[in-house]
Each structure stands twice: as structure tokens, then as C-alpha cells.
Copies of this chain bind each other. A is one copy, B any other.
Amino acid sequence: MHDFAFDSAVRDWAGVVGHENIVTTASQLVAAETGTFQTGNRIPAIVRPASREEVQECMRIANRWMVPVYPISSGRNWGYGSRVPASNGCVLLDLGRMNRILDFSESLGYVTLEPGVTQAQLQEFLAAQNSNLWMDSTGASPHCSLVGNTAERGFGHTPYGDHFANSCNLEVVLPQGEVIETGFGRYPGAHASPVYRWGVGPTLDGLFSQSNYGVITRMTVWLMPAPEYFQAYFFKCAAEEGLPDLIDALRPLRMNGTLRSSSHIANDYKVLSALQQYPWKQTAGATPLVGPLMQQFRRELRIGSWNGSGALYGTRGQVKEARRLLRLALKGKATDLQFLDDGKIALASRFAGVYERLTGWNLRRTLAVLRPVYGLMKGIPTEHPLSSTYWRKRTPPPQQMDPDRDGCGLLWCSPVAPNEGSHAARISAIASDVLLRAGFEPAISMTVLTDRTLSCIISLAWDRAVPGEDARAAACRNELLARLAAGGYHSYRLGIGAMGAMGEDGPYQQALQSLKQSFDPNSILAPGRYITPRTTGLDVPEDTFSASSTKRIDRR
């Protein structure tokens, strides 16, 4: 690559998006290069197109000058890479200005979005429409992009929690600038485009999730009608070895449709890190947090080894029956099964003291963490879970949290397993072993994502200000991925430093590479994102930590 090419590309991009939408200021580029873990990847510029047509033109220019680009929607892919490209030297294609809500149907329950639309924006839109529809929200932040999360196949906590399964009708700018619309979207005036996933002929949506085959510039997201009645449930299990029984008790209710949404089971570390920061004083600065002290926290804060939550959606009659079945299923396996609805939670927060004397349940302390979780199950986005990224920091989370800026170390590892207790126990054991030995607290949640699958999220949190911690965390994550894979557990999603976990060269990787060649012969779009180049010999999980092994470009 030559600076001439880069400069020419920037000039041409500026002609399309305007100079004011090209960022080359060093401080802003450094900020964009800073995620929640270390990478060596530099960003020479940021380009901010405002429309699909501008994206098309930007892609043509990228091909003309052979300058790779990397699209982001809101760039809040925390724990997996934030805004940082998967390889060095990519210009960021920031789609945040494309934030129109293009279509909406109250009766059919959908909304069609551009990639810049955030969770908060959709929530406000629905409120403004007096809509009876609920969105599904991730716990990440109100400012996360819905399209971005869905393209990454993220999940939330309502019956529409499997985001990718509840989307369709993509508009995709292919790497060389052509536009395709998936499903029936390619037929002008086709009524079923926003409602029917498959269209006719091969279904292409899946190709553009977790890939670098195209830039999604439009997506329809389905929304659920608000139920007549909503009730959340919470339960605990004191014994660490009680997890498998919980999972196995919930499975039949999920599979028979009684539970229409995920149950979410978090371990003690996960709950503690949602309630407070690392207890530096009590531990006298020692890490990790283990033993009697951890037991003391559990006791004092009434945290179980496992802490479950979920919700029931339906008519009063449907919820009542589901409640009966849930009580029956969890009997002898969980304790403190509590059902909360809007009325009860309002009452309880007003009379938390009385409530505690009556039920033995300390609502005051847990309401702080409980209320955002309760809201998430109604699809209401929240900043709250973000505070746990400050777990190991020595200063409290600021009013405006920004884990990238604030040096919060965070890596997520997200293995998927069959919805059976034995698998949950095995993953938990592997994660606890690997993380504790490396000096980190294994904060784990098990989400019953679909009838048949558990999505396990393992958080690795540290303070990036501590010298050496970045490298130790990365090594720990790599060991965790390897141990899980050896045990038969693979992640549903990968961070930018972990794309090597996609696998060895073989027919599957070759098929992915052939598709890449077909869509993007110049490999100009998000190189290294999920589709790793053929036989590089690079140990990709580690390459972000050995900057010398990647072609470094620094034009500043």
C-alpha cells in the first residue's frame, strides 16, 4: 500500500460524504483504536456515509484504491472488539449517521431500520407511536445498534431474544458496490418482504451475519405485541453443584412452550460484579476473589451459587398456569422463587423493609440490580450491566460510562451447549478452573437461549491500567477457548482477536474463502473478520498481541 492510494481514497471519499464526515484527527483515531483489550490494529481514517448510495460509492472507492474498510454500526461491540477492526490498517466505515426508521407496522409487529438506529432510539420511536409493541434489547447499552447486534447474532431476554431469528429483509451493499435485497425484498412491491424470512430460492441472510461479505444497510426486526400480563420470576440455588438440576428442570417448560423466553442463570461472581466493584479493601488488594470472603459476600448479599431470572408473558390465565408449572418444576431444586409484576415491584420498592421482614428477601440491595434485569425482560434497554465492566477498576464508574475510554478490561467468551445440565456443569467447571488459575473471577451466566441450547457467557474483567494484565487476560481467553473447544464447546460469536477459533484450513474454511473471493475479490471489506485468509500460518488468536506478525500501517 502506498500513501498515494490512501490519500486518493480519502479525497474521493470526501467527495462523497463531505470533508466534515472524514475523521483523520489523531486523538479520534486513537480513541477508535482503543477497545476493552489490547490489539495492534491501527485505523488510518474514519468515513461516515449517510446513505446506502454513499456506502456503495465508498465501497467502489475502496476497491479503486485498494484501501480496506471496516464497517461499524454503533461500535459498541464491547468485549468482542468495540470499534477496532479485525485487522490492521482498515479505514472505519462508521454507519452511525444512517439512523432512519424506514418502515413500521403495528399490526404485523415489525420495524425496518438502518444500522445507526440505537436501542434507545427505537424505544423512543415506539413510545412516540403509542405502540403496543415491545422491542427486544440486549444488556449492553441503550446506545447499541440493533442492526449491528443482530448481524452479530446477539441476544436479549424477551421471547424475541434470538435476534437473528427475528429479523429479515436485509439490504446489503456488496464489497464491489452492488446492492442486493434478501428474501422477497428483491421484488419491487413484494408485500411479504418484511414478514417472511426465506423468500424464494436460496436464502442469503445467514451469509451476511458474522461475516465480511457485505455491508448491511437495512434490516427488518420483528417486535412482539405487549402481553396482557407480564410477570418476572427469580430464584436461587445455594449449592454450586445444583446447576444441572436447574437446567434440566427448566428444559421441558421451554421445549413445550410454557416458557417463551430465556431463563438466565448467573453465578455468584456475575451477580456480585453487577452489585459492586471488586472488594479491594476486604481483600487487601489480593486477587482473585475466592474462599471464605466470597462465601461471606454470598451470605451477606443473599446471593446463591446460581441465581435465576426469567419472565412469563401472556394473558393472566396463561401466566397463572405457567407459574404453577414453574413452581412444580423448580420444587426442591431452587429456593426463593419469587414472582414480580409491575404492581408488586412498585410496592416492594416503597416498602422494602417490610417486604424483607415478611419474605426474608432483602429487596433494597437487590432492587438496584433487579430493576434493570426486570426491564430487560420487557425489552427496555439499560446502562446498568455496563457498570460491571468497571469491576476491577479502583475508581467508581463515571456518570457517562465508556469502557473503551476508561481502561476497563473486558473479554467475553460465549460457548454454546445443548440445553442439558451436564453440559452447563462442564462449561462452568472449565471456565472456573481456567479463570481462577489465571487470577480472574469467573463471572458466568447460562442463558436458555432456545428450546435446545444454552448460551454461556463468561466475562473476563480486568483493569487495563495494571501493567501486564492485558497480556495475561488475552492468554487466559485463548486458553479458555482452547479448553472449551477441546471439550466440544464452541463460541457463538468471536472477538476480533479470536478469529482463529473459526478453525483450521479444511473444506469448510475453503468454502468460506471461495465465497469471499466471489463477493470481494480484492478482500477490501473487513479483512480477517470471521473469514480468515487462506493458510496464513498465523496463529490468529494471538496475532493481535504480536504486532510484528501483521502488516502495520501507520499513516499518522
Binding site for B on A (CB under 8 A): 107-110, 153, 159, 164-165, 174, 178-181, 184, 186-187, 189-192, 194-211, 213, 222, 224-225, 227, 251-252, 255-258, 260, 313-315, 317-318, 321, 324-325, 416-420, 423, 450-453, 485, 488-494, 501-503, 506-508, 510-512, 514-515, 517-519, 530-531
Contact = CB atoms under 8 A, between A and B. Distances in A.
A452 B508 contact: no
Nearest to A174: B511
In the complex, the 9 A-B pairs of residues with the closest C-beta atoms, listed nearest first: A203-B206, A195-B452, A202-B211, A317-B321, A518-B518, A186-B508, A201-B530, A178-B507, A189-B488
Name, among A202, A252, A489, A507, the residue most crowded by chain B CB atoms within 10 Å (CB to CB).
A202
Contact of A200 (B165, B200, B205, B210): B210
Contact of A202 (B209, B225, B490): B209
Contacts of A190: 488-490
A209 B203 contact: yes
Contacts of A165: 197
**Residue among A227, A490, A515, A530 with the most chain B CB within 10 A?**
A490
A192 B450 contact: no
A230 to B, nearest CB: 12
A490 B515 CA distance: 28
Contacts of A222: 451-452
Contacts of A108: 418-420, 452
B213 A202 contact: yes
Of the candidates A208, A489, A530, the one having the most CB atoms from chain B within 10 angstroms of its own CB is A489
Contacts of A200: 210, 490-494, 501-502, 530
A347 to B, nearest CB: 27
Contact of A180 (B210, B508, B519): B508
Contact of A492 (B198, B423, B491): B198
Contacts of A517: 518
18 contacts: A164-B198, A174-B511, A187-B485, A187-B490, A192-B418, A195-B418, A199-B492, A200-B502, A204-B207, A204-B511, A207-B207, A222-B452, A224-B255, A257-B257, A257-B313, A317-B317, A511-B519, A517-B518
Contacts of A315: 258, 321, 325
A18 B321 CA distance: 59
Nearest to A201: B530
Interface centre among A200, A203, A530 (most CB of B within 10 A): A200
Contact of A452 (B110, B207, B531): B110
A351 to B, nearest CB: 32
A205 to B, nearest CB: 6
A511 B314 contact: no
Contact of A503 (B186, B224, B489, B519): B186
A148 to B, nearest CB: 16
Contacts of A485: 187
A452 B109 contact: yes
A178 B159 CA distance: 38
Contact of A257 (B314, B324, B417): B314
Contacts of A159: 257
B201 A210 contact: yes
B206 A205 contact: yes
Contacts of A210: 198, 200-203
Given A318-B258, A417-B191, A452 B201 contact: no
